[in-house]
Amino acid sequence: MPGSLPSARDEIRQALIMTRRAVASVRKTPPWRRQWSRPTGPALRFMILVTLVAMLLATALIAGPDRETLLHAARGGSMFAPVAAVVGSALLVAAMVPRTWLAFAGGALFGSVAGAMYVLAGVTAGAALAFLVGRLLGRSFVSTKLRGRFALIEASVARRGVWAVVVCRLIPIVPFAISNYAFGTTSVRPRQMIAGTMLGALPATFAYSALGSATMHGDWLGAKVAGGCVLALGACGVIGTYLVWRRRPHAAPAVSLTK
């Protein structure tokens, strides 16, 4: 028994030394480092993507061109106006400017058909550009975080491919500009994104282009017809939204192992 006292004292001394070292290391570590770990590469890229989309959206809402500005730019056209319309539409769509404004200005400058075709080409190119940015910055992070119902939705979107993109372009509840970046974080392929965007954006682009052309030329009957088409597309979009919501994928129920 007497011989065990020194060993017990040594153990207590070692324990006290280790405790002091632990307390000292905690005091030296800043509180924000104890609470937050350094983000990984995919998480950092995803944060950059979210910040970029938020900044572009805020810029488009606060300082973006309005319809009158686009029409003023359209009146100053030249022989390179079609190329400028395509390139400008692509950049403005990637910068979150509403595609309906672009279609309206395209119809006012080039007419219903030609304006719609130029803007549609630019809108598709801008959507593809945003898709690639979303794929580069957000896909690796999102693919590791999908769980439950979100994983089922992502799998459903990937399985339907082109038609999933078409439906998202037709229903008004899904913002066009934001969905361009969001699709990049899914497993939808680039060619499916491009084809779905062209098919889904076609009706609204022609309707707004016809409305812009009729308004510019004072054709009030044509403007009423085009406006009716716009309203009809909106109504169909609302109905489509309801049908898609009813057919949304649900998480599989848990299977009980007890009888």
Is 180 within 8 Å of 135 (Cβ atoms)? no
Is 191 within 8 Å of 162 (Cβ atoms)? no
The pair phi, psi for residue 98, each rounded to 5°, is -60, 135
- Residues 1-59 have pLDDT tens digits of 455 445 656 666 666 666 666 555 545 545 544 444 555 677 787 788 888 888 877 77
Closest CA to 193 of 113, 135, 245, 140: 135
Please say if the pLDDT value at position 72 is more than 80.
no
pTM for the predicted model, two decimal places:
0.70
Is 138 within 8 Å of 181 (Cβ atoms)? yes
Sign of CA dihedral 251, 254, 255, 259: negative
- Residues 139-194 have pLDDT tens digits of 877 777 766 666 777 777 777 778 888 888 887 677 888 889 988 888 888 999 99
Arithmetic mean of pLDDT over the chain: 76
Please say if the pLDDT value at position 209 is more than 60.
yes
Q: What local confidence, expressed as pLDDT, does residue 193 receive? A: 92
- H-state helical runs in the chain: 4-28, 31-35, 41-62, 67-75, 81-94, 99-110, 112-143, 148-160, 162-170, 176-184, 190-216, 220-246
From residue 132, give the alpha-carbon distance in Å to each of 34, 56, 138, 230: 36, 16, 10, 30
Residues 35-42: contacts with CB within 8 Å, 24+ apart?
41/140, 42/140, 42/141, 42/144
